[in-house]
Amino acid sequence: MNKLLFIFLDGVGLGLNSEINPIKNLFKNLTGVDFVLNNYPIINDDFLLKPIDAVLGINGIPQSATGQTSIMTGVNSQRRLGFHHTAFPNRELINIIKEKNILLELKNRGLSVTCANMYSKEYFEKRESRSKNMLPVSALSVKTSNLPFRFMDDYNKNEAVFADITNEIIRSRGYNIDIITPQIAGSNMLNICNKNDFTFFEYFITDTYGHKKEELKLISETQKLNSFIEYIWNSGQNGVDIILTSDHGNCEDISTGNHTKNPVPFLYLSKDSSLKGKFFREVENITHFKGAILNRFGF
């Protein structure tokens, strides 16, 4: 069975085909159509792409902590709390993540599991000095699964990818690191995927620029993501499948700097037609991702 790469994009919904949507070209190099709500679902020989629900029946606007917990654990965290919880997980969400996150589940079932994101030592020093949890769902999932984090040493072995793909952000913070192309980052990602059954990668820049209503930067990020994912798919398609989603809408509507209730994408790139058909029927909201991934590995 092919390796599986799970890419989490923060704050990416399916929006309108209008001037307020700067990410209309996201995945267009793979799908051939605009990335807008009325163009989906699509299922063909290479991919499945459909809108799925991130609101989960709870009043209010979806937020990061509950949305990401729902994705990573399969638990309707919004319903568990009774509200959408922003930013970092509270104690109740932390307990759910400790017990049910997909990284831990796959590891306990004997698969080789990893997170591809490169971190800095300072990232943890700043957050762990606080009395309140300041780690997002992704880092908590890695930590509570007792998986190693990737640092500069791993990057120097071409086996880590920074959160913005091309290293501009970490270089701007004073690190001695070259800015790279999305294709080089894609090559590094394949180096990781080829050594692991399941690889997780978080990309949060879309949510950052969505909040700031940075139209031009979001257009640039769209081009970067397209080049990155296209390289991985075209270079690794004989051995690596890609699954992707988001926790809530945001950057697809720059008329507001807030999250949206728009559906989020479920993208599955694979040559396996039987799995695409199964997921097409069964994945309707973000809590279904954990089950879909377990099914993908035959559990």
- pLDDT value of residue 276: 87
- pLDDT value of residue 169: 93
3-296: CATH topology: Alkaline Phosphatase, subunit A (3.40.720)
Alpha-carbon span 233 to 145, nearest angstrom: 28
DSSP per-residue string spanning the chain: --EEEEEEETT---B-SSTT-TTTTTTHHHHSS-SBGGG--EE-SSEEEEEEBSSTT-SS---HHHHHHHHHH-S-HHHHHTSPPPSS--HHHHHHHHHH-HHHHHHHTT--EEE-BB--HHHHHHHHTSSS----HHHHHHHHTTPPPB-HHHHHTT--B-TTSSSHHHHHTT-------HHHHHHHHHHHHTT-SEEEEEE-HHHHHHHHT-HHHHHHHHHHHHHHHHHHHHHHTTTEEEEEEESSB-TT-TT-SS-B---EEEEEE-S-HHHHHHHHHH--BGGGHHHHHHHHTT-
- pLDDT value of residue 72: 98
Alpha-carbon span 281 to 299, nearest angstrom: 18
Report yes or no: 116 and 160 within 8 Å, Cβ to Cβ. yes
- pLDDT value of residue 131: 67
- Which amino acid does the sequence have at 216? L
- pLDDT value of residue 144: 95
- pLDDT value of residue 274: 86
Contact residues for 79 (Cβ-Cβ < 8 A; gap 6+) = 56, 57, 58
- pLDDT value of residue 133: 81
Render each residue's pLDDT in the chain as its tens digit; 299 residues: 899 999 999 999 999 999 999 999 999 999 999 999 988 899 998 999 999 999 999 999 999 999 999 999 999 999 999 999 998 999 999 999 999 999 999 999 999 999 999 998 888 887 777 767 889 999 999 999 999 999 999 999 999 999 999 999 999 988 899 999 999 999 999 999 999 999 999 999 999 999 999 999 999 999 999 999 999 999 977 789 999 999 999 999 999 999 999 999 999 999 888 888 888 889 999 999 999 999 999 99
